[in-house]
Homo-oligomer: A and B are copies of this chain.
Amino acid sequence: MAAASTRHNIIEIADDLFYRGGFEATSFADIAVKASISRGNFYYYFKTKDEILNAVIDRRLRRTRTMLDGWEAQAPKPRERIVAFIELLIANRAPIMAHGCPVGTLCAELAKLDHVHQERAAEIFGLFAHWLEEQFRALGADEAAREWALHVLAWSQGVASLATALKDGDFIRREVADITTWLDGRIASLSN
């Protein structure tokens, strides 16, 4: 296999295992077995565990940007774009109930480990926050744009967190409906 594709394959599998089992609990051996390569070959691509983590965070940053760009391309109205974000909770509710939000749980774990890459992981939140802020700004919310963006982000995180603990999928549906109602209320308040 070409080097680039092997490398890509390792990152993809590490990404998935980090999400499902956590960063610390996932070993070199776990990734190597799942990627069907030897541990020695693994070392050829990544010298340390932090290097893989770094690559995984890079991948998530890239994929997040792609997803956000996709929503902008597909939905012309800012409201529909924000709704697309909120409904991620519904689309991913099975994995969320099993393993939580990929962003939130990684940030939480790295905070506990006091890991050097915790700020980089938090950048994924930064992407969402900035993008949501832009959407609210496009809706006409100038001063409140940042605040509302963080609010939507925090709300989603809370829903994911509680859904993981309580294993309640209906709760996600209800909260998503509430967030949407809140959003429309904000939008309505702008035209006054």
Chain A contacts with B in 71-111, Cβ cutoff 8 A: 98-100, 103-105, 107-109, 111
B162 touches A153 (CB 8 A): yes
Instruction: Tell me whether B100 and A111 are in contact (CB under 8 A).
Output: yes
Partner of A100, one of B22, B112, B166: B112
How many of these chains are in the complex? 2
Known contacts A155-B154, A159-B154; decide if A20 and B164 are in contact (CB<8 Å).
Answer: no
Whether A122 touches B158, Cβ cut-off 8 Å, given contacts A21-B113, A112-B99, is no
- The answer to whether B24 touches A125 (Cβ under 8 A) is no
Q: Is A104 touching B174 in the complex (CB atoms < 8 A)?
A: no
Q: Which one of A103, A156, A165, A174 has the greatest number of beta carbons of chain B within 10 Å?
A: A165
Interface check A175, CB cutoff 8 A: yes
Are B178 and A151 in contact, with the CB atoms below 8 A?
A: yes
Contact of A105 among B108, B126, B151 (CB under 8 A): B108
Is A121 an interface residue when CB atoms closer than 8 A count as contact? yes
A24 contacts across to B, CB distance below 8 A:
22, 24-25
Docked Cα-Cα span, A24 to B147, in Å, equals 35
Expressed in whole angstroms, the minimum distance between the Cβ of A185 and any Cβ of chain B is 11
Asked if B162 and A147 sit within 8 Å, CB to CB, the answer is no
Q: Looking across the interface, which residue of chain B has its beta carbon closest to that of A20?
A: B112
Cβ distance A172 to chain B, nearest Cβ, rounded Å: 10
The 10 A-B residue pairs with the shortest CB-CB distance, nearest first, are A158-B158, A154-B158, A107-B165, A157-B158, A157-B161, A122-B165, A22-B112, A154-B162, A100-B108, A104-B161
Residues of A at under 8 Å CB distance from B? 20-22, 24-25, 98-100, 103-105, 107-109, 111-113, 121-122, 125-126, 147, 150-151, 153-159, 161-162, 164-167, 171, 174-175, 178
